[in-house]
Every structure is written in C-alpha cells, then in structure tokens.
Structure 1
Amino acid sequence: MNFRLYRDLLAIVPVRRVLLVGMLARFPHAAAGVLLTLHVVLTLDKGYAAAGAVAAVVTIGIAVGAPWRGRRVDNVGLRKALIPSVISEAVIWSVAPHVSYEWLLVLALIGGLFTLPVFSVVRQSLGVLAAGEKRRTAFTLDSIATEIVFMGGPAVGAVLATSISTVVGLTLVGISTAAAGVFLMWFNPPTRSAADGAVPPHDVEAATAAVVTAAPAHLREPAAELTQAAGAAADAADPANSGGLLRRAAAGFSWMTVSVAVVFVVAAGAGLLLASTDVGIVALVESSGDPGKLGIVFAVWCAASLVGGLLYGAMTRRISPMLLLLAMAVLTLPMSFATDTLSLALLSIPGGLLCAPVLSAASERVADLVTEERRGEAMGWYGSALTTGTAIGAPLAGAAIDTIGPWSGFAFAGAAAAMMALLTLGTRAMVIRRRIRV
C-alpha cells in the first residue's frame, strides 16, 4: 500500500475542487430521502407504503434520466447540459411540498429525470484528471466523501423535518442543489482531456471510427464487429433507408462491450446489496424495540466503508470488482445472526469494509474500458444500473422480511448479490475462453 497517493492526488487543485463540489452537491439529496418520507407520512398523513412509492418514482426517474444527462454532457458540454437540471431542481422541489400526494408523484418522477448528474460528472472528471494508480485513489476518495455525506445528510433532513417543517426542508433541498449546480457550471471541471482529438458529435460515423480507433486493443474488435454487423443487417433490410438509422444506433452504443456490461451487472448487484442491507438494518433494530439506536448501526456500517475505502485507495494493485462484490455478499450473510443492536453493528463491519472498494473498483473499470468521447454516457448508465439494483433490492428484501422475519433481509441480500457476482465471473470466463479459441 502507498498512502502517499492520497497526498499526491490532493495536491492537484482541480481534483480537490471536484471532490469538494461533489460533496456539496450530494448533501441536499442525501437529506431529501428522509425529508420526502417524513413529508408523506407526517405532513400528508399517508403511510410508509405511500412514502415508498414516492421514493420508487424518484428512483425510476433517476435511472431513466442518468444516461441521457450523461450523453448531453458528452455532446454539448457540461455547462449547457446542466442548465435544465439547475432550473428543475429549484422549481420542482420548491413546488412539490405544496401539492397533493398524486401531484407529488408526478413531480417526483420529473425531478428524478432532471436530477443534477453529480455522480457521473464527478466520476467522469476524475477519470480525466487522474490516471493509473491515481485514478483508483481518486474514485476511492469520492466514495469516501459520499459515505461522509450519507452519514450526515439524513440526520440533517430529520432535524429539519421535526424541528422546522418538511416543506421548508424540501425547498432548501431544491435551492441548495440548484446552487451547487451553478457552482459546478462556474467551476466547469474537465470531462475530456485537452488533446483528446474528439470528433464533432453530429458526425456519427466519424465519431464511431474515432471511438473504435482510440479504444484499447481488446475492445476494438468487439466494437468494430458490432458496428459492421449492424450495418450489414441494415443494408440487407433496406439499403436506402433503414441501414443508416441502424448504423447510427449501433454507433451510439459502440462503447458497450461485454466487459462494460459485466461492470453494470456488478453495479446493479452492489445497489441491490446495499439497499437490502439498509432495509434489513431498519427492520431488525425496530423489531428489537429500540429504534433510537438505529443511527449507531448506520454510523458503524458507514465508518467501516470509509476505512475500507482508505485502504483500497492506497493499494498499488487492482482487484476485480466482481471478486469484491462476491466477498461483500458473503460477508453480509452473518448479519442474519444478529440478535440486538450491538451484535448487528459489529457484524456489519466486515461487509461494510468492502462497500466503498466495490463502487470504486467498478467506476475505475468503466473509466478504463470506455473512451472519453462516450464516458459521460457510460457513467450515466453505470449510475442507472446502481439505481436499478437499489430499486429492486429494497422491496424484495422488504417482502422477505414481512414473510419470514428481519434476519431474512440479510440472507436475501447476500445470496442475491453473490449469485450476480458469480454470474458475471462465469460470463467473463466464457468470453475469455472464446477469445482464446479464436
């Protein structure tokens, strides 16, 4: 391990600024989840199921909008791409607290679609500003910063909701996020290298050629084969018309290889594991009759992730995100044996140590596999995969808890994530064997 990597990286002023802006921009949304739940339950006098529906709608909006927002950054630049998000964040979350539940669902969906793409922008910029071992450390620092934000954000949201009002809290979320977006536009962190030789986005075929040529050797053939196959199929169907459309569609996803898809599955597995564990912690602590100690378990879990991230970021060798996810899934299973708050907090440490490393390794892999011309869109899809896993994991774990008991949430989380990790390992092994035969 080389902890000097942190010092060297933080000595780069743009890197420090990107990490700081990322923390500031994420903090309002870290508080928004608790505020939305308490607004539906307390202010609108609905149940937790209704609150969960609002959270699900926001999640769907984010999952659908993230790739589109990332592609806008690739095509028109950061400043122009962020304008719709800045406006919508300020308007929607200032109006949402004053409408009925039905309209809140609509606004939540729109708000999710236009959410400020902090995750993809920060990771895309760090991928440009740092390379090699520094890139791993940069992504780890961002994961650690995120852990710190989510240790404090929900607590601030709860204080605002109970001490002042959820209306004021949600309005502050919108204004604060919009302000962070304006600051991000002013700072304008790089999303491409200064000499990347990017091809104008309107020239689709030329852009495709540039992406394939610039890609690493092991990615060129799959990308070229995908484009050629799509073109041939299009010409056979209708050379005069549909061929060009299909070629453009293939060109737009020339960066999507089997290796990239595997990383997205890992991201979905990580999201499922984290969300399911989250629900399991809440259920087990509440069933113990002492919900006031819930914050202790989350603090220990997040602190373990922070420590694991620091250690991983100082490592001088790469570890596969698939192996990290598998290890995290297996280490989450013992949480099923917890009997009280203390034992649950202690059993959360092993799995928690791998939270930040899994996300950092997956982000690093995407940055390595996808060229800068399409990295914003790729990071958007990566965020969507993570969000999709979260949206799937929470309700399924909840169903298992309602049917069997609190302990089953951890069993479901570990087993499902382990299966996804094994699936990706098997897929990668098949691809490697196929390449060797060819």
Structure 2
Amino acid sequence: MSSYLAVLRLPSAARTFATALIGRLSYGTVVLSMTLALASGHGSVGRAGAVVAVFALSVAALAPLRARLIDRHGIRRVLLPLALSYAAALLGITAATWRPGAPLWLLEALALAAGATAPPLGPTMRTLWRTMCGDDQALMQRAFSLDTVAEEVIGVSGPLLVGVLILVANPAVGVLLSAVLVAVGTVAMMTSPVVGLASTGVRAPGGGLGTRTGRVRHRGSLSRIAEPVFAATGVGLGLGAQSLAIVAFAMRHHQPSAIAWADAGMSVGSILGGLAYGTIHWPIPGRTRLPLLTVALGLSIGAAGLAPNVWTLTAITTATGLFVSPLMTCAYLVGDELAAEQSRTSAGMWVNNAYNAGSSAGYAAMGPVLARLPLSGCFALAAAPVVLAAGAARIWRFRIAKATPSAEVAITEAPAPASAAV
C-alpha cells in the first residue's frame, strides 16, 4: 500500500483523482437508473431498452471524437462544456421520467444528447496521471493500476447504490444523482492545477511537475496503438460471452445465485489482481507482457467450462478476475507509450471503447451459441477471441517493427521554473 500512497502524495494527485472519481461514479449509476426510470414511466422494459440502447450507441460512436477534441483544444475548453451538457441532458431525462407520459421520441432525443456529450473522464484522468508521474514508469504503472481498480469498484458500487436508492425514492432520482455527480465532480476537477499543466503540455520527468517542450514526429493513426486495441477487443469479447455462459451455467444447474457469486468472485479477483500488479517490478516490457496476460486470461475463461459445480465455477472466475485489471492496466500503459504526445487521451479512449464494444458484441454473439453447444464448448468459444487477440497483437507488433525499423523522435527538455511546482 505504501507504493500507492506515494502516487497519491504527488502534488495535487489525491485532489484530482478524488474529484474525477466523483464524476466517474455517474457512469456506474446512470445505465441502471435510466433503465429503471424509463421502465417505471412507460411500463415497458422493451421501450426502456430502446432508449438506453440509443444512449449507449451514441456514447460509443462519438467517444473518439470527444477525446480528439480534448487532445486538440485542451481539457478545460472541452471537458467542462461536455460534462455540463451531459448533466443537462440527464436532468431532462429526469424531468421526462418523473411522471409517466413523456413521448418516446423525446426520451430518445434526450438519450442521444446525453450519449453524444458524455465526458471522457477516465481517459482524461489517465492523461493527468501521465502529467503528474512524468517519465517515472514505475510510478505510472502504480497510478494506472490504482485507476483501473477504482473503475472496477465503481462498476460494482454504482448499481448497488442505485439499488438502495430506489427502495426509498422515485427511480428517476438515480438519473438526477448521475447528473449531479458528473457536474460536481468535473467542476471540482477543473480547479486542479494539474489540469492546467496538462493542457499546456507541462510534465515532469521522474515524477512531480515540470515543463516539457518538444516536437515529436510520428505516424498519426490508429495503427500506432493497434496492439492494446486488439487486446482490449479480445478481452471484451471473451468476458462478454463468458458472462452469458455463466447465466446459462446457473440456469442449467438450477442455482440462479451462482450468477451473483461468479460475478462477485470476478470483481474481487480483479481488484486484488490490479492492486498486486501495480506493486510488482516486471522484468519484461509492457508490450511483451500484454499478449502473455491476454493468453492467461483466455485460458482461465476456457477453464470455467470444466467446472462441475457452482463453487468450482466461482473459484475459477475469481482466478480469471486476477488477470482482468492487470491486463487492462497494461493495455492502457502500452497505449499511452505508443501514442503520440498530443494524442494520449484519444489512445486511452480507443482502448476503453474497444473493450466496451467487444463486451457488448461477445454477449450478443453467445446467445445463439448456447442452444447449439454444450457449456464446455461455450466457455471454450468465449476464450477463443481472447487468445486470438493476443496472437493478433503480437503479429501486428512484428509487422510494425519490420515496416518502421526506427522511430524519429526529437525532444527538447527545459528545467521546471520555480512557479511550476504545486
């Protein structure tokens, strides 16, 4: 834990991270809150699903554009207007669902507006970690691990918070809470000195804050970060497919509670694995580590198909979770390493989006398979894209290395002025 305390003791780190987490908690509460509010207001889960689908698709489709705007125009100029617009759209959904009767077109329009303006708080926070950690790679690894574990905790605690809230309040209150969280968190985050430094390219080598000026000649395309994007896509596909296979396992064993146990085991394993990963000094570079972690995750997903009972399945999913946060941390780090200096937020968003898109696609694809294959075959099929993604990332690395034998980088560094320290 002392290593994580060192991260939080960086100038302005605890303040910036805490405010970002407040805003990011909105993403842990908004989907379930919106679904419950819409279903309550319209009495139709199908209509609720349609509106939430509009929201989710617009979030994913426009995510790279929002990240690119931040890279191009700076965090303060873009993130705050996005967050306030997003909060306003959620307030509109709150008002429209507070009482039944709102037309479907209005709900879909508000969901589209919310999804289109959803602020990329996670990728932005990882950009800020880079600013705070400078060129200290060990510090970066701990910071990214802490960040990934925090996302895992938000993914678990957000729905639990909504579940408690709807026991005492109108379901639309959850959407209102999501709006308040993102607005308060982002506004508070903007007051951090680190945000101003990141917007001007100021960064400290070896930790702390300093001034960095320079010029990097690069290949400005998605191909630069294809390795972590391949890995994240495969992981999303595998875990999305596995989650539906776990539901089928529980139903066929007549133990619906197995779903909750397996999911809980996965989350606990991911949190523990992420915390451990950040403290280890790895003898091999991240680009070599990434496919190894991906293969390990794929094999553990496949092993779940051998489980004879609920308790064995829970043990295996817990072991699977041990690789999830470390793998995503490694993917974010590799993406940050490979990205051009002025495209780091976009790189993080592409990795994040690849995982989310893969998860949705894997879940959808597993449905028709469950009726045709035994459970062991379903889990093996879920493991396949993860292992294949590791191979694709490795092949791409060799292809790029062959095409570009040397990178052209010209960087000049200046010492930090006394006024830069915060």
TM-score for the superposition, normalised by structure 1: 0.79
Letter in 2 for 1:302: S
C-alpha displacement of 1:11: 2.2
Which of 63, 67, 73 does residue 66 from structure 1 map onto? 63
* 1:281 equivalent in structure 2: 246
Letter in 1 for 2:109: V
Letter in 1 for 2:89: I
Is 1:173 matched up with 2:178?
yes
* 1:45 equivalent in structure 2: 43
* 2:398 equivalent in structure 1: 429
C-alpha displacement of 1:94: 1.9
C-alpha distance 127-153 of structure 1, shift in aligned 2 (>3 A): same
Query: Structure 2: how far apart are the matches of 1:80 and 1:286?
Result: 50
* 1:264 equivalent in structure 2: 229
Is 1:105 matched up with 2:108?
yes
Query: Structure 1: how far apart are the matches of 2:5 and 2:174?
Result: 37
Letter in 2 for 1:84: P
Query: Structure 2: how far apart are the matches of 1:63 and 1:406?
Result: 31
Query: Structure 2: how far apart are the matches of 1:406 and 1:165?
Result: 40
SS across alignment from 1:354: helix
Query: Structure 2: how far apart are the matches of 1:421 and 1:100?
Result: 46
Query: Structure 2: how far apart are the matches of 1:290 and 1:397?
Result: 20
C-alpha distance 38-259 of structure 1, shift in aligned 2 (>3 A): same
Letter in 1 for 2:162: G
Query: Structure 2: how far apart are the matches of 1:397 and 1:165?
Result: 35
SS across alignment from 1:36: helix
Query: Structure 2: how far apart are the matches of 1:406 and 1:17?
Result: 47
5+ residue gaps, structure 1: 199-209, 213-219, 224-253
Which of 20, 34, 40 does residue 22 from structure 1 map onto? 20
* 1:159 equivalent in structure 2: 164
* 2:89 equivalent in structure 1: 92
C-alpha displacement of 1:283: 4.2
Which of 196, 216, 236 does residue 211 from structure 1 map onto? 216
SS across alignment from 1:197: strand
2:86–2:115: 8 Å Cα contact kept in structure 1? no
Query: Structure 2: how far apart are the matches of 1:75 and 1:341?
Result: 50
Letter in 2 for 1:322: P
SS across alignment from 1:12: coil
Query: Structure 1: how far apart are the matches of 2:185 and 2:376?
Result: 40
* 1:116 equivalent in structure 2: 119
Letter in 1 for 2:61: V
SS across alignment from 1:165: coil
Percentage of matched positions with identical amino acids:
23
TM-score for the superposition, normalised by structure 2: 0.82
SS across alignment from 2:213: coil
SS across alignment from 2:43: coil
C-alpha distance 188-372 of structure 1, shift in aligned 2 (>3 A): farther
5+ residue gaps, structure 2: 97-101, 204-210, 407-422
**Range that drifts further, 274-283 or 314-323:** 274-283
Query: Structure 2: how far apart are the matches of 1:114 and 1:416?
Result: 31
C-alpha distance 389-145 of structure 1, shift in aligned 2 (>3 A): same
C-alpha displacement of 1:428: 2.0
* 2:412 equivalent in structure 1: none
Aligned residue pair count:
383
In the TM superposition, what whole-angstrom CA distance separates every residue of 1:308-359 from its partner, at most 9, and x where no partner exists?
1122111112442222112111111122234554332111022110000111
Query: Structure 2: how far apart are the matches of 1:81 and 1:55?
Result: 25
Query: Structure 2: how far apart are the matches of 1:50 and 1:385?
Result: 27
Letter in 2 for 1:305: S
SS across alignment from 1:124: helix
In the TM superposition, what whole-angstrom CA distance separates every residue of 1:145-196 from its partner, at most 9, and x where no partner exists?
1112222111112222344232111122112212112112222533332523
C-alpha displacement of 1:402: 5.3
* 1:201 equivalent in structure 2: none
1:281–1:297: 8 Å Cα contact kept in structure 2? yes
C-alpha displacement of 1:92: 1.4
Which of 289, 298, 302 does residue 267 from structure 2 map onto? 302
* 2:417 equivalent in structure 1: none
Is 1:135 matched up with 2:140?
yes
Which residues in structure 2 correspond to 1:330-345 (within 5 Å)?
330-345=299-314
Letter in 2 for 1:278: S
Query: Structure 2: how far apart are the matches of 1:283 and 1:176?
Result: 35
Query: Structure 1: how far apart are the matches of 2:374 and 2:44?
Result: 25
**Structure 1: 4+ residue segments shifted above 6 A:** none
C-alpha distance 20-279 of structure 1, shift in aligned 2 (>3 A): farther
**Range that drifts further, 421-430 or 284-293:** 284-293
Which of 193, 216, 221 does residue 202 from structure 2 map onto? 193
User: What RMSD, in angstroms, separates the aligned Cα atoms of the two structures?
Assistant: 2.7
* 1:237 equivalent in structure 2: none
* 1:239 equivalent in structure 2: none
* 2:340 equivalent in structure 1: 371
In the TM superposition, what whole-angstrom CA distance separates every residue of 1:246-283 from its partner, at most 9, and x where no partner exists?
xxxxxxxx2x3644122212122222233333333344
1:279–1:409: 8 Å Cα contact kept in structure 2? no
C-alpha distance 129-26 of structure 1, shift in aligned 2 (>3 A): same
Is 1:392 matched up with 2:361?
yes
Query: Structure 2: how far apart are the matches of 1:179 and 1:321?
Result: 36
Letter in 1 for 2:330: A
Letter in 2 for 1:416: P
